[in-house]
Amino acid sequence: MKIQLVNKNIEDIKTDVLVEFLTSDELSEHEKFKTLSQAGFKAEQDSICFLHESGFLACGVESKKSDNIRSAAASMIKALKESNYESVKLGVISKRTVSALVEGIILGGYEFNDYKSKPKKIKLTEISLAINALNFEEIESLFNESIIIANATCYTRDIVNTAPQELNPETFALLAKKLANTNELECNILDEDELKEENMNAMLAVGRASIHKSKLIHLTYKPANPKKIISLVGKGLTYDSGGLSLKAAASMVTMKMDKAGACAVLGMIKAASELKLDVEIHAFIGAVENMIGGNAYKPDDVLVSRSGTTIEVRNTDAEGRLVLADVLSYAQDTVKADTMFDFATLTGACVVALGPFTTGVMGHSHKLKHDISKSASESGELTGSLPFNKHLKTFLKSEIADISNTSSKPYGGAITAGMFLDEFIHKDMKNKWLHFDIAGSAYTETPWDCNVYGGTGAGVRMICEYLKNI
């Protein structure tokens, strides 16, 4: 499906269907929309009315703000894909809504059909966005940026949605190498022997019962004159059974999504390299599979992490933080970054705290959290800040090791997980680091906004917006 920006009046573009976004006020004010009213169309947000005899599709919006346009565009593209029309045109409402239109169309129209024996054929082949303006070049630049970011988000979704028998730590490393070759990135893969040399015992413990060997992946994008150096760290549990603290059967379904943090990090560096941003990006991924077996790590084990901090294991299903502890340590010693972000489907507690649509953000720097919140809002993603609390830290106390991998109390689980990671952040990086818990936002079984069933690509649009503003 081709999306193009056309520097013409919309009347001069010939297509099968014309689309308009309408508010309830516009519907009542114009006589030409009388047929829509007679059809029962009220222009409610995301509602549609198709007048096939005149080739006209009306999409309801509460207002012409970007968030509403993005969501309505997603509803629009779903309706058009169900039709037999081949081409459609719509007008760009404003400069601010260009990205929303593109994302609504690409992300709302996304499908993952790799495992369908007979995927449905879509007849729609061309979407024309009309704009007859003097600042066409500026809008065209925004349009092209939006295409890159939306495609990187879909790339992330594809990896999240890939079945665990196909994507394991070893094939994840091959995928990263392929991206590195395509986008001219530097790539370094540490295998288990090298992980042992780095004393990454916490990460190795999580993956040792799997037949697939754990990998640490380091991709680098280096522009000529970078303004900043950013490290992005992703949790890459290609499948999480819970280990010996075995998950319930129903909870194991969708656990292919436990690699979503790592997938998002790949999407971010992909987009940054294609946007040619003046920011040096380092992507670190701990690719591990948490399985059961005679050699599985156990509750009551004490692990010596890469940093030397000893960890009492109280639950083997709190494995992501063990992997990240070592990867964060390695990332900080390998790259002296101006800022470091980690992304992980870390806790169900975050979903309880913020709901299934919102990414939890934790860290010490109020300014950094404010900047991220602004970027998230501008990109259409949702974030909520969860505050660190010195009293919650006592829940991680261990009587036999330096720290426990789970809280001793069933409260504030998302925050205590973030505070566990904080133990592995160097003192000089405390105000340069943020933790993103995407447990709720990374995957959905109920479509919402421009997100369809499966991986959402959470974090990619938000971080791209942040990087663009550096």
CA distance 172 to 262: 10
Environment class of 364 (CB within 10 Å of its CB; exposed 0-12, middle 13-18, buried 19+): middle
CA dist list (Å): 199 to 188, 202, 303: 17, 8, 11
314 carries an active-site annotation: no
Other beta carbons within 10 angstroms of residue 274's beta carbon come to: 18
62-65: Cβ within 8 A, 24+ apart:
62/23, 63/23, 64/21, 64/23, 64/93, 64/94, 64/97
Judge contact between 403 and 302, C-beta under 8 A.
no
Judge contact between 345 and 257, C-beta under 8 A.
yes
CA dist list (Å): 177 to 180, 186, 266: 5, 9, 11
Q: Which of 462, 380, 452, 460 has its CA nearest to residue 110?
A: 452
CA distance 144 to 15: 22
247 carries an active-site annotation: yes
Sheet of 2-6, strand order: 2-6, 126-130, 87-91, 17-22, 56-60, 48-51
CA distance 129 to 7: 9
Between β-strands 186-190 and 215-221, what pairing exists: parallel, antiparallel or unpaired?
antiparallel
CA distance 208 to 190: 15
Q: Which of 436, 416, 206, 231 has its CA nearest to residue 305?
A: 206
Select which of 247, 369, 393, 468 is catalytic.
247
CA distance 145 to 148: 5
Judge contact between 380 and 103, C-beta under 8 A.
yes
Select which of 89, 208, 256, 321 is catalytic.
321
Catalytic residue numbers read 247, 321
